[in-house]
Structure 1
Amino acid sequence: MWGFKISGNVLNSVYESVGDGVCINEVIYNDNDHPVDYRIIDANPAYESITGFKREEIAGQRASIVYNKENPPHLNIYARVAETGEKANFETYTPQLRKHFNVSVISPEKGKFITILTDITSHSEIDDELETVYENVPVVLMMVDSDRRILKLNKNAELFAGKSSEELVGSRGGEALGCLHSLDDPEGCGFGPHCKDCIVRNTVLDTFETGNNHYNIEASLPFIVDGREKNLTFLLSASLINTENKSKVLVSIQDITERKETEKELKESEERFRTLTEKAADAIIAHDFDGNIIYANETASKNLGYPRDEILSLNVTDIDPYVDIDVFRDKYWNKTSSDTSYFIGTYHKRKDGTIFPVEVRLTRINLNEKPVILAYIRDITIRKQAEERIKEQKEQVIETERIRQLELHHRIKNNLQVISSLLSLQSEKFTDDNVKDAFIDTQNRVISMSLVHNKLYQAKGLENVNTKDYIGDIVDHLNELYNIPNIDINIDVEDIYLGIDTIIPLGMLINEILSNSLKYAFSESETGKIEIKLYQNNNNKNYTLIVADNGKGMPENVDVKDADTLGLQLIKNLIDQIGGDFEVNKEKGTKFIIEFSG
C-alpha cells in the first residue's frame, strides 16, 4: 500500500496537469513519537492556483509556519492516514480563501500523506447565506461520515469542545465533544462497554442504515466539562444528506441542561407550593393581573362554597364585590413583589350570596413561569363577632358607669341642697347681721357647687360642664338672692366646656367676686354695671376670666394678694386651685383679671 511513488513521465504529466490541487507531505513527530506538525514536500501547479501558495516558497516548510497556526490544520486526520494507510475524505471551509474544499487523503508510504484538494465552492451544499446560519446557529452541528468521523462542524461545536475545527475534524463525535464514555476504551468513541447503548451512536447508525431522519430525541450523557464530569441533557437530531454518491449525516445537538434543571426546579417549587397551600387553614387563591383566578386551595373552595373547577372560571370581582380591577391593579397588584405585601380588609361573597368579612394579604409570586398575585384570605367572622361582643360589653360598662355617675351627681346635689337649707335655717336664729351674712356667703358657696352637679346630672353623664350655662345659673341665683334691680349684669362667655376639677372652684370664684360686687360696690339707690367675660386665648390653651364693676371700688390700702379677710383669701386660694394668676385694676371700680390653664 505504501509502495506508491510519483515516477515516470505519465505520472509526472498527470501530477503537473491535473485540475485538483495535490500536495505531498510528511509527518513530524516529537521524541515520544507523537505527531506535532507536518512538512510540505511538494505541490502541483493546481495547488498553487487554488491556494495561492508558491511551491518553491512552501516546499520543505512546516505546515504550522506556512499556515501561521500553532496547531497545523487537520493534523490528527493526516497523522492517522500516514500511520495506518487508510484513506480519509472530508470537507472543509477556508475563511481566508472564502472557499469550500473536498479533501481526499492517501498515504504513499508510512509517515507520509498526499492531500488532494477539490474546489467545491461553486456547488457547495451550503451557500454563503446558509453557511452563516450554519456557523452561528446556537446548537452543535456536525457532518459525519459512515464511520461517525467528523467531516465538518460549526462554531458552536468548537465552543462546546473547546478546540478548533482543525483539531476536531476526523475524530468521532464523542471524542470531539468530551463524552466520558469515549475514554472507556483505547479505540475511543463507540467501542466502550456503554457505547452499544449510546443513543447518539445508535441514532446516527440508524440514519445511515435506514435513511430515516430523527428529530429532537431527548437524551442524557456524561461529559467532561471544564475538567469535571457533568451529566448533560440535550435534544438530538440526525438527518441523512447524499452528495456525489456519498452519504453523510448532519448531527444536531442542542444542550437543554439548564432548561431541564430550571423545569425541574420549577416543578419542585410548584409541588412545594401546592403542598404548603393545599392544606392551609386560610383560603389561598392566585389570580392574574386581570383578576382571573388560576388557583384556589381546598379551604378557598370550602369557604366560598364553589367546587374547585368552578372557582377557576371566576374573576376576583365575582367573590369580592368591592374590587375595582383598574384601581386594585394600580394601587396594589403592580406594587407587590416577593418582598412586599399589602393587607386589605374587605368582604367576600359565597356562591349562595352570603357576605362574610375577610382579611387579605396580597403578594406576588411566579407560577408556571408567570407573575401572579397570591392572596392569603382569612375568614374573620368569629373575630368580628367577638369584637362586637366586646364592644357591646364596653358600651354596657360605660352606660353603667354613666348611670352611676348620674346617680352620684344627683346625690351630691341633693346633699348640698340639704346643707344649704340647714345653713339657711341656722342663719335665722341669729340677729347679728355679720353672722347672717357669713351664713349667706357660705350658703352661696354651697349652692355654686350644687349647681355644677345639677348640670352634670342634667347633661346625662357628660364629664364637662358648659361654662356659659353654668355662669348664667350662678348670676340668676345671686340676682334672685340680693334682688338689686338697678344693677345691670352683662355676661359675655364663650361656649367652653370644663371638667369638674376646674368648674367647681371657678364657680365658687365667680360667686365670691360677684357677691362682693353686689354687696359692697354700690349704694342702695345707685345704678351700676357688672361685667363677666370668659374666653380662650388665641395664642395658647389658657383661659381668661374677667369680673368687673364700675362701683366705688376697693380701698386703696387693701392688698388683695395679701388680704386677711376670708373672702379675699378664698379668692386667692381658688385661683391657685385652677392653676391661675390674677391682677386687680382699681380704676373706675374693681376689675379682676384672672388667667388660668383649665
Structure 2
Amino acid sequence: MREENKKLHSTFSEAEDMLGIGSAEWDIEHDVATLSEGWKKILGVKKEQMSLDESLNIVHPDDLPAVKADLQNAIDNYKPYSIKHRIICQDNGEIRYIKVYGKITRFDSTKPVKIHFTMQDVTKNEKLKDELQKKVDDFYYLYNNLNDAVFILDIDGYILDINKTTANRLGYSKQELLSLHTADIDCLYNEINTKKQIQKIIENRQKVFESVHIKRNGKKLPVEINSTFIKYEGKPAILSVARDITERKHAERLIQRKIKEQKALLSSTPALVYLKDNKLNYLTVNDAFCKVVDSTVENIKGKTDFDLFPEKEAEKYRSYDTSVMEAGEPVYNLEESYTTPEGEKRWALTSKVPYYDFEGNVIGIVGSSLDITERKQMYEKLYKSEKEKEVILNSTSEQITYQDLNYNIIWCNKAAFDHLGLDYNDIIGMRCYKLWIGANVNTICENCPVEACIKTGEHSEGTMGTPDFRVFHVSADPVRDSNGNIIGIIKILNDITERVKNRKKLKKYSEQLEKINRELEKRVQDKTEQIKNAERMRELELHHRVKNNLQVISSLLSLQSEKFDDEEVYEAFKDTQNRVVSMALVHEKLYRTNHLENIDLNDYVNDLVNHLKGLYDGGNISLNIDVQNIYFELDTIIPFGMLINEIVSNSLKYAFSEDESGEVTIKLSQDEEGYNILIIADNGRGISENVNIKESESLGLQLVNSLVDQLNGNFELDTSNGTKFIIEFYSS
C-alpha cells in the first residue's frame, strides 16, 4: 500500500511538473500550509510546509495588497478563492505569473478549517500576451503615426477605419470620416467610379493609382494610393495607403518646366546641338541640326554621320568623337567644315564633351556646333581690309602711330620709322616724346595734343618742334572699346616745316598788301563819301525846290480864292491849299533834317495838326498826339499826311460849334509784323449814321477812301462817341 502511495505521489509530481501546476493545503487554525512538489518548484522553495506570512512574502510587493484582500474576502464570505498575481522565486529571484484557485473546508457552518489551493504557472502565457500586446501597441503606434494616410473601406467604398494621419491631414475628426463615403473626400472618383476602381482592386488583389483628396477647408491634396484587397473583421475590405505627393508633383512640374525650358533653349539656339551613344548613333538633336540636314528628329535618331554627311566629313567627325570618348576629355572650339544637303560648304565652331552614366562610364558624347561661316567670311574680309589699310597707311607721307595711354608706341606706319631712321621693332614700346624730341627727355611735350586727348576724350591738335628744327602739325584722336572707355590714341604728324617758312613769307607779303589795300580803301571811301554828299545835296535841293513850288501853288490858290464870293468855292480852294501845304511840309521836313532816309513822324504830325488848328481857329480844341516814330517811305508818307489833313480838317470845321471846347486825338502804332494802326478821333457832334462812307458824294470822304487805297489799307468809322477813324495799313 505504501509502495502504491509512493508511486502515485511520484506520478502526481510528474504530472504537476508537466502541466506547470502545484497544490497546497493550508490549515487555518494552526497556520501551516503543506506544499506539493509542483508548488515548491514554482515558488523556488524546498520547505514542505510554510506559514501564511512566509507564503505572502513570496508575493510581488505590488500585487500583495490585492492578494491579501481577496484571501480575506474568501475566508469571510466562505467563497471560492481565485486570483492571478506575480511572485518572486526564492531560488533565482525570477518574477513569475501564477494563477491560484482556493476552496474552503469547514467542519461546521460557522468556522472554516482548511483551504485547498491549486496553483498554475502562467508566466509563459503572460509573457506571450505582453509581447502580443506590445506588438499590437507598436502596430497601432505605427498605424497612427505613419506619414501616410491609411483607410480601410468596405467593398462599397464606405470608410470603416482610418489612422490619425488621415484625420489630421484632411481636417476631419475620426468620427466624421467614419460616416463618409470615400467619394466625399475624392474629387476624381465619384461613387460609381469608386466602385469600378474597387472591383479592379479585388480582381487584381492590388492597385496603385493617383488621385486628389479634398480637405475640409476645400484645399486639394494630390495623393498616390496603394490599395490592397484584405479581410477586415472577417469581411472583404480594401486597405488603402494614401501618400501625399504634393512635393513630388511640384518637383515633376519643375522638371517638366525645366525640360520645356531646355527644349525651348535648344530650339531657339542657332547652334547645332546633338547627343550620340557610345556607338556614335544619334540619340537626339535640336531644331537647328534638323534644319541643316533637312530632316526630323525621328528620322535622325539611330543614324550615324555617314548617313547624313559626305564620307570624308563623316570619317573626320568619327575620328574626333572617338578621341573624345577614349580620352574622356572634352574638346572646345574646334573649327571644322560641313556640307549642307544643297552642297554648300559651311564652317562651324564645334565643342564635344564626354557623356557619362551614374557610375562614371563614358556612354556617349554631347556636341554643339555654331555656324561661323558668315563670321569667317567677315574675318577674311576684315583681314583683307586690314592689309589694304596697312598698304594705304604705309604709302602716305603722314607719320601715323597708335599708342597707349602711357604714350608707348603700339604701332606705326612706314613714314614714321623712315623719318626716325629706326627699324619697326625698335620703335614699338618706346615713348613718343623720346623718339621725336630726344632719348634723354623724360616728360611729355608742352601743350601735348595726346595729353589733351586723353584728358578730354576729344579730338585735339597742335604743333611740335623737334631738335632738328623741323615743325610738325600733330592731331590726336581717342580709340574706345565697346563700353566707350579710351584704350589708346591715334596720332598723326604732318611735317609742316616748309609750310611754316612759306607762311612767314606770306605773312610779310600779306602785311604789305594789307597796307596797300588800306590806302586804296581810304581813297575809295573818300571818293564814295564825296559822291554821296553830292547826291545828298542834289536830293535836298530837289526837295527844297518841290517845297518852294508847292508853297507858290498854295499862295496862288490863296490869291485866287479871294476873288470868289461864293463860300463853297472859297472853302474848296482853302481845302486844296491845305492839301498842298501837307505835301509841302513833308518835303520841308526832309530838306531840314538832312536825313533822306527817314522823317520824324511825331514832329511832322505835330506841325501839320497845329498848322490846321491855327488855320481853322481851333483855339478851344486840345490836341492829343501819340505817334510812334516809324520810318515811312516817301510813297507812304505823302498819302499818310494828306489823310491826317482831310480828317483833322473835317473835325476842326464841323465837329464843334463856335467857341465850343473839344479834343482831337491822333495815335499811330505798329506791331511786330509791320501793320500800322492810325486812329484819328474827336469828341464832337459826329457824322450822321446814315452817311455811306464808302460811296459818299463828299469830296473829303472820297479822298479818305482814295488815300486809304493808296496805302493798301482799310478803315472803319465809329460814331458811338463823336467820330473815330480806325485805319490799318502795312508798310515794309
Greater fraction of residues in helix: 2
Of structures 1 and 2, the larger Rg is shown by 2
- TM-score, normalised with respect to structure 1: 0.39
Scaled by the length of structure 2, the TM-score of the pair is: 0.32
Instruction: Between the two structures, name the one with larger relative contact order (CA 8 Å, sep ≥ 6).
Output: 1
